[in-house]
Amino acid sequence: MSTTKGPRRDPVGRYLSTNAREWRSGSRDGQMAVLAALMLLTGAMFIVSLQWYWIMPVAMFIVPLIVGGMLLQWRLHAALTVIVLFAATVSALVYSVDTGFNSSRPASAAALYIAAGILLYSSSRNRSGLPAALGEAMLMELRDRLQAQGAVPPLPDGWVSESAMESAGSAKFAGDFLVANLSKDEKYLEMVLVDVCGKGVAAGTQSLQLAGALGGLIGSLPPLGLFAAGNDYLMRQSWDEGFATAVHVLVNLETGGYEVLNAGHPPAMHWKRDQKEWVVSGARGLALGIIDRPEFHGTSGVIEPGEALMFYTDGVVETRTLDLTVGVEWLRGAAAIAISQEMAGAPRRILDQTEPGEDDRAVLILHRLPA
């Protein structure tokens, strides 16, 4: 008796899985497999339309055109369009000869030709050279990889980090991002919260590029060197709004000592357990990407057990009717209320007290648990 298990017992599933991987890789074999499947579908629709036109009228031939626009590159999509339009035209003519002229069929055929032209034009404007579905999948994978790079790694006992972010307009790409690194001996935690100037898709794509650049350097350069490298990178870009604000923190997780550098970013805050309030950091500096050699003035301190550091972007404290100074004072009170219950979930509760606007919003809190 055969004991073969797994893919060998499912050749159809193995074939489909292989072709799906080929398509996701963007290879020509994967594209040709999709084209062959859509041509078979068109042929089946053509046969059914010749026999039972009322089941498969001309308008139904839009289906393979739409699927082809999503899954095929432009040249293959154009070849499929020619085949589909030919099949639809022949089917309509044959049915007209058999049953007589009907004004609705030319109208349906015209609508199909117009839709095909629109889909082809849209496909030809895709600058990535990839079909729409594959291009979006690859872009989302890139975003997920960079966001995973910026996630705060699991911290040693006694430390908790929590963040909350919301992009303007609920878009999947935001100009705010976090880059973090924990040293191999788990003694030092380094984090950079960045807000790229701009809104919408432009800020989202620029933040992806800058996140990749900083993510490859964090942990390898000292804080001032990291800011200098980020500043040089932005100065080399040709972006319309080529600057970004950032706040950098380096924490000794054994002692609680920390250093903060600020590059045009809203000031960090330190929750003082004895004072029962958030104290604003004095670290200041010019935003990255404005001049060649900006100066940064940092501050230092110690996070005692039961205390915390908070970082946030200007979307939390600035609106059209609220300037930065007033917004920071508001946040001090709002954050004190948010942690009055407990520190867990505080970033989300803080964002819930803000109004969605035209800017991205992010809050990060690093908490040292009570002894």
Q: What is the pLDDT of residues 248-278, one digit of tens each?
A: 999 999 999 999 999 989 999 999 988 889 9
Three-class SS of residue 226? Answer: helix
Q: What is the pLDDT of residue 268?
A: 92
CA contacts within 13 A on the Cβ side of 204:
17
| pLDDT for the residue 306 | 92
Report the pLDDT value the prediction gives residue 7, as an integer from 0 to 100. 44
pLDDT of residue 4: 45
Cα–Cα distance for residue pair 313/362, rounded to 1 Å = 6
User: Domains of the chain by range and CATH?
Assistant: 6-135 (no CATH), 151-368 (3.60.40.10)
**Six-digit token string for 33:** 């497999």
Residue 216, phi then psi, degrees to nearest 5: -80, -15
Structure tokens at 132: 């729409």
pLDDT for the residue 40: 93
Percent helix, strand and coil across the chain, each to the nearest 5: 50, 20, 30
**Res 299: pLDDT:** 92
Q: Tell me the pLDDT tens digit for each residue of 324-355.
A: 888 889 999 989 988 887 888 899 999 888 87
Determine the Cα–Cα distance for residues 58 and 115; give it in Å rounded to an integer. 12
Tokens matching residue 38: 């859509």
pTM: 0.67
Those residues of the chain that have pLDDT short of 50 are: 1-7
Please give the Cα distance from 319 to 305 (Å, whole number).
34
- Which of 361, 333, 330 has the alpha carbon at shortest distance from 348? 361
Residue 283 burial (C-beta neighbours within 10 Å; 0-12, 13-18, 19+): buried
Please, are residues 268 and 307 in contact by the beta-carbon 8 Å criterion? Answer: no
Per-residue pLDDT, 5: 47
DSSP 286: P
**Whole-number pLDDT of residue 110:** 84
**349 in Cβ contact with 338 (< 8 Å):** yes
Task: Name, in order, each residue with C-beta under 8 angstroms of 105's C-beta and a sequence gap of 6 or more.
Answer: 57, 58, 92, 95, 96
